[in-house]
Structures are given as structure tokens and as C-alpha cells.
């Protein structure tokens, strides 16, 4: 039996469920490979929480995924009405706090307070919620440093790939430019428009039907999500930008006419996020890309980013926001935190 | 590696008619399998008629959509569980969004299959709810995460290697828990996560694939009849149950249109582990289908009257029916009774004999041949 790592999941939407499932399926394997036994000791969503200090077993984790949206409070016999982090922490003494609440870019809540609370209670933090990092990156990181805990967020940018850890580890490089397709939903919509020759609204409907776009898709289609990712990247590179400083163009302005015109001229239309690191400028813009170029061939829910440094050029291509892929990134963060602790 | 008491049980849509039948099916699963120490993996179909309605929804029928919503909500309410009602409502809302999108985007096969998949998806939530209401621990598995297929939408084939890896991983994490897993039949997904369907009768295929990939000995196909009959009992009143058939015989019968089993269901059984299929109803499991039958069980098993391009024919299916002796026997019967035939078709490597007759002789020939071939001592 390996060393126990007690984990709290705060937020239980599609990523939270995917994570519970992946942990259920892989915790034995991770235990035998690395000697780390991941125990989910508590789960919370907007309405309630479920906690079990000795850790939910595989069956219970899979069973948890059957609760309706905001239905953790129905998970008998472990359920509590309402969310109270004090109760969760006092009863379970978690090692790792996993923040999976939705991103909200005005106040950063509830993620911001949750993360600060976790740090103050001495728990390491893994977050897939971008908003707290986008709004208060410095504060969060320095607070964690002062309390001797770490924060990891591999799932926030190109969640299906180890992009963040690679970028973080390129310590001797001067990164000059980062650009690419950072939002899976808008890339899917644009791809639909090209492939099926439909208007934006129909492509959006399709994306919503397939569960790729949210009921309120504005964060994705207006470029807020991509801009948030650039902000996180800028902080990692210690050239911090504010999200308001990033000029954004919404893909809702792209018409079928634009697409047809572009295709006739040998281009495709993409939403490209770019960050000129030295100039300290970034934008999310609608761009006509020659069909032969790499970014023109990254379609559907795929993402792609190019990192250009003074020494090299690296390209990442991978699924952006799928539940299972993102869950694996979160789990990788949990495992690596546990490694560093031992 | 696997326990002996494991089996796969497919619950056919004919058993899932209304709100009562989900509870009844759950009770039967409990009585027949759980209480006898079996760990059953349940493969569930859509409620009766729902898949047909979904096809109409894809064509834009609001009425069909209302019908499905009402039917499934009624079952959910009968189960009287907040959790189940909320879940079913969530799925029905998604169904409505998908239905709204499909009418705008013209024919998109992946969206079409996604739409069809709701019949089984909701049915699964309901059956798990019903099992729990009867005191059985049940767990939802998700076919779209486990059953990997190619990209032939609406008639997909299972990618056995990927599916097997998924099943084994899942199996090892739940084998020790006292729970009955329930998975949707009929649906799968491509490697990049788009939902596919396996074609009509695809739930059988799901069941046989799971059993053969996990080396499980028995697959129960539970329906509303006691087994495979020698002929359609609505036409031939002396039709009787066929006790044992081989895969080959059963496949041949399917190819000639016997409604019972999807022909693809035999592929995993032939390629991997050869599980035994047991077909019947809760009151009687009348027919067993096995890889091979001993010589003494050779002979005609089923006779069906079919039509192909306006030609009616009798298909007599069974090992040995393409032998010279058998054909001579059939011809003698026909000759003795003064029936004119239009043709004969038989290949030595296939277990069937087709007798083409004009449609005026069709029923007479069917009754006669059934009497002579199946009703003897």
C-alpha cells in the first residue's frame, strides 16, 4: 500500500466527473506504479457536498458521477446540504485541493476564495479554473510560497497536453512569441462553418447539441477564454498582462460569406491567439491563414500552439477541453505534487 | 482471471414497454441472477418503440419527441426518485437541443446517431433506478466511453482491441464491488469521441462483444418470447421451440431475415471467446446457441417464408440442409403433394436450402414442409 494522498474536489461538472471516473479506474495502477494512493475524501458543488474521511472507493466514485447537475447533496449517505469548506477541511484534512469551479472573470469567485482558503489551510492546489489565476496570479503564487504549498494548473491551457509543464521548464530560453489556436469551442464552430458551409448560428447550435459549447457560449466565442489563457502564459513567462489589455475579436462576426471568400482565395479563417512576449502585446484575432499552413490544418476540437524562443520552435497539438483529457492533466498535477512531497 | 458466475444479460426493448415494466425487469434480474449468485452485466435496449420514434424526431416530428418525453418521464416518476427524475430531465433537455440542431443542419450522420442514442441512454438511467429501488446495487456504465467503433455511422462495427482494453480496465476496478453494472446496448463511439450506433438489433452485438472480450461463458438475450421457434407461430400454429442451434445456423437464419439476432453479433464470438447465447423470456429460456452442435443435432431448425424481388421462397435453415439427401427429401415431399416450384438454391458451405414457389403456393408449402420436417416424431 502506497502513501495516501487525500484529495478534495471542489466543483463537480464535466471535468469533475471525468476526474472522479479516471481516479476510480486508475488509482490502483497509480498506486502500484508510483506508491501513491489517491483518496478522494470530499466532493462539493454549488449546492452541497459529500465527504468520507477514509476516502471513496472505486464504486462510490463511479456512483458519484451519476448524480444530476448540482446534485452532490443527493449522494447518500455521505451528503451534506450546502457547502462549508470549514467542515470539509476539518473532517478530511486534505493534502490536495482540486479547484474545478467554473471560470468567472469579474470577481474570480468562487474559485479565488476557495484557492486562498486551501492555501491558508496548508493544502496544495490544483486548478482547472482559470479565473483566479487570471485575476490574481501573483497574489496566489506568493501566498502559496509563503505558506509552503504549491499550485499547479496544467489543465488551464491546452488541457489535453503537457503544454504548461513544458513551457515552465524552458528556463534557459528567451521565449519570444507564443501563438496558436487556444479555444476548442470556437475552433470547432469555425471548422463546422468551413466543412458544412453553414452560418455561425447553425454551427453554434451544432456545437451546443454535441455538448462542446455551453448554453452561454460567450466566453468561448468572444475570445475571453483564449485571452485568459494568454494571461496565464504571460504570468508564467513573467511578462504579466491583464486580460483587459488583450484585444479580442469575436468569431460571431464571421459570416458564411467571409468563409467562402477566404476559401476561394486559398485561405481558411481561424481564431488565432498571439502573444508577442518582448513587445508585451497580445491579441485574439480572426485571421486568414493560407491553407498549407499548420494552423489551417488544426480542426474541430483540436488546439495547437507554437512556442518560439531564441533557441528553438516547439509546437503542441492536442485536444483542448475534453473532460477525460483535462481530467488526466489534473490527475498528472496531483501525482506530481505527491511526488515532490515525498 | 474472471469469476465463473459472471454472465451478460441483454434486456430487449420488447420487455420495456411502460413504467411498470422497468420495475418488473429489475425484480426479475434480482430473482433470476442476483439471488442465484450471478454477477450479471446488464445490456439494456431503449424502451419499446422509442428508437422508431427517434427516427421520426430526426425527420422533424415534434409529436414523436413529445411521445418520448412523456413516456420516459412517466417511468421516471413511477420510480419516485429525485435523482432519477432530475437525471432523466437533464437527458431529455439535451435530447431537445439535439433535435433542434438536427433539423437545421440537414443530414449530419454523427448528430443523427447521437440523437438515436438517447433511447438507450435514458433507458439505462431508468433501469439502474429501478434496480436500486428493488434493493440491488447497480452502476451505470457508459457505452460511449467503453465501446469503441469505426466511423460507419448508423451501422458501426466494434473495434475489439480498443474496446477490450477499456473493458478490462473498468472490469478490474469494479469486480470486487457488489454491484450490477448496466450499459447501453446499440451505441458506441469513434476513437475521437463521436457517438455511433451499431445498427438495428445492435444491443445483441454489444452483449456478445462484451462477453467474448471478457471471456464470459453465457449471454442471456431476454425478450418477450420463450426462444427461437421452428416457424412464425402466428402463421404455423404447431411451431415449436428450437432447443439448440449453432452460430452458423443462427447467423444463416438472421441473414434470411429472422428478426431475432443481428448478424454482426456473431463476429466477436467467432473471433474471440465463444460464449453460449441463451434466448428466451423470464418464464422460459428455450433456445441455446453454441459454437458447434454435435452431428446428432444436425437437421432443419427453422423454416421461414420470405420474399426477395417479388419472388417468394421458403428458407429452411439448419446444418445438413444443403446435403443431397436432405434436398432429395424435400423435393419428394413437394413432388408427392403436387406443388410446382420455381427454383431451388443451396450451397454446400451454407446451412440452408431455399425453395422458390409462386405466391399462391406459399403458405401451403410452408405448412406442408413444417409438418413433414418438424412435426414428425
Closest approach of chain A CAs to the CA of B94, in angstroms? Answer: 7
Domain with CATH 3.40.1160.10 in chain B: 6-224
Query: From the list B83, B104, B192, which residue is nearest A205 (CB)?
Result: B104
How many degrees, rounded to 5, is the angle at CA B31 between CA B27 and CA B33? 110
What is d(CA B17, CA B237) in angstroms, rounded to the nearest whole number?
A: 26
Instruction: Name the one residue in this structure whose C-alpha cell is 412435426.
Output: B375
Residue A151 cell numbers, joined: 499550485
What is d(CA A183, CA A166) in angstroms, rounded to the nearest whole number?
A: 19
Average pLDDT on A99-104 reads 96
Residue B2 pLDDT: 42
Q: DSSP letters along B317-356, please?
A: ESTTTTSHHHHHHHHHHHHHTT--EEEEEE-TTSSEEEEE
What is d(CA B59, CA B318) in angstroms, rounded to the nearest whole number?
A: 40
Domain B296-374 has CATH 3.30.70.260: yes
Residue A224 pLDDT: 97
Residue B57 cell numbers, joined: 424526431
pLDDT in tens, A202-221: 999 999 999 899 889 999 99
Residue B106 pLDDT: 61
Instruction: Name the one residue in this structure whose C-alpha cell is 421520426.
Output: B56
Closest approach of chain B CAs to the CA of A331, in angstroms? Answer: 17
Listed as ranges, residues in chain B with pLDDT below 70 are 1-4, 103-107, 259-260, 377
CATH of region B6-224:
3.40.1160.10
Which CATH superfamily groups domain A3-158+323-341?
A: NAD(P)-binding Rossmann-like Domain (3.40.50.720)
**Taking all residues of chain A, what is their mean pLDDT, rounded to a whole number?**
95
Domain with CATH 3.30.70.260 in chain B: 296-374
Query: From the list A25, A205, A209, which residue is nearest B169 (CB)?
Result: A25
Residues from chain A contacting residue B97 (CB–CB below 8 Å): 208-209
B335 CB-near residues (< 8 Å, 6+ apart)? none
CB atoms within 10 A of CB B5: 13
pLDDT in tens, A248-294: 999 999 999 999 999 999 999 999 999 999 999 999 999 999 999 99
Q: Using only the alpha carbons of chain B, give its radius of gyration.
A: 22
Residue B87 cell numbers, joined: 437525471
DSSP conformation class of B286: -
Under 8 Å between Cβ of B146 and B162: no
Residue A300 cell numbers, joined: 474541430
Residue B260 pLDDT: 65
Residue B323 cell numbers, joined: 446435403
Q: Active site residue: A21, A130, A152, A229, which one?
A: A229
Q: ipTM for the complex?
A: 0.90
What is d(CA B115, CA B309) in angstroms, rounded to the nearest whole number?
A: 33
Residue A246 cell numbers, joined: 488583450
CB atoms within 10 A of CB B154: 15
Q: Which residue of B has its CA nearest to A301?
A: B192
Closest listed residue to residue B288, CA positions, set B278, B275, B301: B278
Q: Is A202 close to B177, i.e. CB distance below 8 A?
A: no
Residue B261 pLDDT: 80
Helices (H), chain B: 19-28, 50-58, 62-79, 82-102, 109-133, 143-146, 160-174, 202-213, 247-255, 266-271, 324-336, 362-374
By DSSP bridging, strand B6-11 and strand B218-222 are: parallel
Average pLDDT on A54-73 reads 95
For chain A, percent helix, then strand, then coil, each to nearest 5?
45, 25, 30
DSSP conformation class of B92: H
Name the pLDDT band for A142 (thresholds 50, 70, 90).
Answer: very high
Instruction: Name the one residue in this structure whose C-alpha cell is 422533424.
Output: B60
Fold of A165-319: Dihydrodipicolinate Reductase; domain 2 (3.30.360)
Instruction: Name the one residue in this structure whose C-alpha cell is 502585446.
Output: A281
Residues from chain A contacting residue B167 (CB–CB below 8 Å): none
Q: Is A57 close to B177, i.e. CB distance below 8 A?
A: yes
Under 8 Å between Cβ of B52 and B71: no
Residues from chain A contacting residue B109 (CB–CB below 8 Å): none
Under 8 Å between Cβ of A143 and A116: yes
Q: Is B174 on the interface with A (CB under 8 A)?
A: yes
Helix A131-147 vs helix A111-120: angle between axes, to the nearest 10 degrees? 10
Q: Which residue of A has its CA nearest to B176?
A: A59
Q: How far apart are the first and last CA of chain A?
A: 15
Provide φ and ψ at B87, rounded to 5°.
Answer: -60, -45
What is d(CA B261, CA B266) in angstroms, rounded to the nearest whole number?
A: 9
Residue B175 cell numbers, joined: 469486480
Residue B377 pLDDT: 52
Q: Is B114 close to A71, i.e. CB distance below 8 A?
A: no
Residue A224 cell numbers, joined: 475571453
Average pLDDT on A224-239 reads 97
Average pLDDT on A154-165 reads 92
**Edge-to-edge order in the sheet of strand A79-81:** A79-81, A48-51, A36-44, A3-10, A96-99, A124-127, A151-152
Q: Which residue of B has its CA nearest to A300?
A: B192
- Residue spans of the domains in chain A: they are 3-158+323-341, 165-319
Provide φ and ψ at B334, rounded to 5°.
Answer: -65, -45
Amino acid at each position: 500500500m502506497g502513501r495516501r494522498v487525500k484529495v478534495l474536489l471542489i466543483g463537480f461538472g464535466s471535468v469533475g466527473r471525468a476526474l472522479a471516473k479516471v481516479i476510480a479506474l486508475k488509482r490502483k495502477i497509480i498506486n502500484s506504479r508510483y506508491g501513491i494512493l489517491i483518496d478522494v475524501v470530499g466532493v462539493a458543488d454549488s449546492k452541497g457536498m459529500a465527504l468520507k474521511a477514509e476516502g471513496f472507493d472505486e464504486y462510490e466514485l463511479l456512483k458519484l458521477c451519476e448524480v444530476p447537475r448540482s446534485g452532490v447533496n443527493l449522494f447518500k449517505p455521505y451528503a451534506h446540504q450546502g457547502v462549508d469548506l470549514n467542515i470539509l477541511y476539518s473532517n478530511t484534512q486534505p493534502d490536495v485541493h482540486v479547484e474545478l469551479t467554473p471560470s468567472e472573470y469579474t470577481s474570480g469567485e468562487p474559485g479565488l476564495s476557495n484557492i486562498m482558503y486551501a492555501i491558508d489551510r496548508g493544502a496544495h492546489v490544483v486548478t482547472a479554473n482559470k479565473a483566479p489565476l487570471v485575476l490574481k496570479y501573483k497574489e496566489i503564487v506568493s501566498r502559496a510560497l509563503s505558506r509552503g504549498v504549491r499550485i499547479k494548473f496544467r489543465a488551464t491551457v491546452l488541457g489535453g497536453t503537457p503544454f504548461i509543464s513544458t513551457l515552465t521548464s524552458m528556463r534557459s530560453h528567451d521565449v519570444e512569441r507564443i501563438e496558436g489556436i487556444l479555444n476548442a469551442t470556437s475552433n470547432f464552430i469555425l471548422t463546422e462553418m468551413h466543412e458544412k458551409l453553414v452560418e455561425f448560428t447553425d454551427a453554434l447550435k451544432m456545437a451546443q447539441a454535441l455538448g462542446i459549447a455551453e448554453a452561454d457560449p460567450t466566453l468561448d466565442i468572444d475570445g475571453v477564454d483564449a485571452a485568459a489563457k494568454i494571461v496565464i502564459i504571460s504570468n508564467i513567462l513573467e511578462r504579466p498582462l491583464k486580460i483587459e489589455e488583450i484585444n479580442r475579436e469575436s468569431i460571431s462576426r464571421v459570416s458564411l460569406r467571409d468563409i467562402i471568400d477566404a476559401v476561394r482565395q486559398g485561405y481558411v479563417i481561424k481564431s488565432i491567439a498571439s502573444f508577442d512576449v518582448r513587445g508585451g502585446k497580445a491579441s485574439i484575432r480572426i485571421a486568414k491563414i493560407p491553407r498549407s499552413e499548420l494552423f489551417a490544418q488544426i480542426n474541430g476540437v483540436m488546439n495547437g500552439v507554437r512556442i518560439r524562443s531564441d533557441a528553438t520552435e516547439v509546437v503542441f497539438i492536442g485536444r483542448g477541453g475534453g473532460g477525460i483529457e483535462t481530467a488526466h492533466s489534473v490527475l498528472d498535477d496531483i501525482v506530481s505534487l505527491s511526488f515532490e512531497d515525498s | 482471471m474472471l469469476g465463473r458466475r459472471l454472465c451478460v444479460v441483454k434486456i430487449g426493448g420488447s420487455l420495456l414497454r411502460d413504467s411498470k415494466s422497468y420495475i418488473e425487469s429489475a425484480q426479475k434480474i434480482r430473482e433470476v441472477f442476483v439471488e442465484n449468485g450471478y454477477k450479471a452485466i446488464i445490456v439494456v435496449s431503449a424502451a419499446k418503440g422509442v428508437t422508431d420514434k427517434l427516427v421520426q424526431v430526426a425527420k422533424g416530428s415534434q409529436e414523436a419527441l413529445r411521445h418520448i418525453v412523456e413516456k420516459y418521464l412517466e417511468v421516471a416518476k413511477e420510480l419516485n426518485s429525485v435523482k432519477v427524475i432530475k437525471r432523466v430531465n437533464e437527458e431529455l433537455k439535451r435530447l431537445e437541443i439535439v433535435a433542434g440542431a438536427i433539423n437545421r443542419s440537414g443530414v449530419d450522420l454523427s448528430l443523427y446517431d447521437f440523437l438515436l442514442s438517447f433511447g438507450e441512454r435514458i433507458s439505462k438511467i431508468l433501469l439502474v433506478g429501478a434496480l436500486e429501488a428493488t434493493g440491488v446495487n447497480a452502476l451505470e456504465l457508459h457505452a460511449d466511453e467503453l465501446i469503441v467503433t469505426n466511423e460507419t455511422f448508423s451501422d458501426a462495427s466494434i473495434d475489439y482491441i480498443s474496446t477490450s482494453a477499456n473493458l478490462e480496465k473498468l472490469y478490474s476496478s469494479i469486480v470486487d464491488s457488489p454491484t450490477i453494472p448496466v450499459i447501453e446496448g446499440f451505441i458506441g463511439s469513434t476513437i475521437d469521441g463521436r457517438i455511433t450506433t451499431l445498427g438495428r438489433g445492435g444491443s445483441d452485438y454489444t452483449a456478445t462483444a462484451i462477453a467474448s472480450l471478457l471471456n464470459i461463458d453465457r449471454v442471456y438475450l431476454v425478450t418477450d418470447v420463450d426462444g427461437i421457434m421452428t416457424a412464425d407461430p402466428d402463421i404455423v400454429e404447431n411451431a415449436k421451440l428450437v432447443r439448440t442451434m449453432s452460430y452458423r445456423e443462427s447467423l444463416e437464419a438472421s441473414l434470411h431475415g429472422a428478426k431475432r439476432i443481428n448478424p454482426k453479433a456473431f463476429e466477436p464470438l467467432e473471433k474471440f471467446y465463444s460464449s453460449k447465447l441463451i434466448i428466451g423470456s423470464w418464464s422460459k429460456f428455450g433456445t441455446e446457441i453454441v459454437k458447434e452442435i454435435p452431428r446428432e443435432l444436425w437437421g432443419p431448425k427453422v423454416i421461414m417464408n420470405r420474399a426477395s424481388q417479388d419472388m417468394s421462397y421458403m428458407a429452411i435453415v439448419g446444418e445438413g440442409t444443403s446435403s443431397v439427401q436432405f434436398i432429395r427429401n424435400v423435393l419428394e415431399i413437394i413432388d408427392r403433394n403436387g406443388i410446382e416450384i420455381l427454383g431451388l438454391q443451396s450451397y454446400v458451405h451454407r446451412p440452408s436450402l431455399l425453395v422458390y414457389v409462386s405466391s399462391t403456393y406459399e403458405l401451403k408449402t410452408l405448412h406442408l414442409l413444417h409438418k413433414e420436417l418438424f412435426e414428425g416424431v
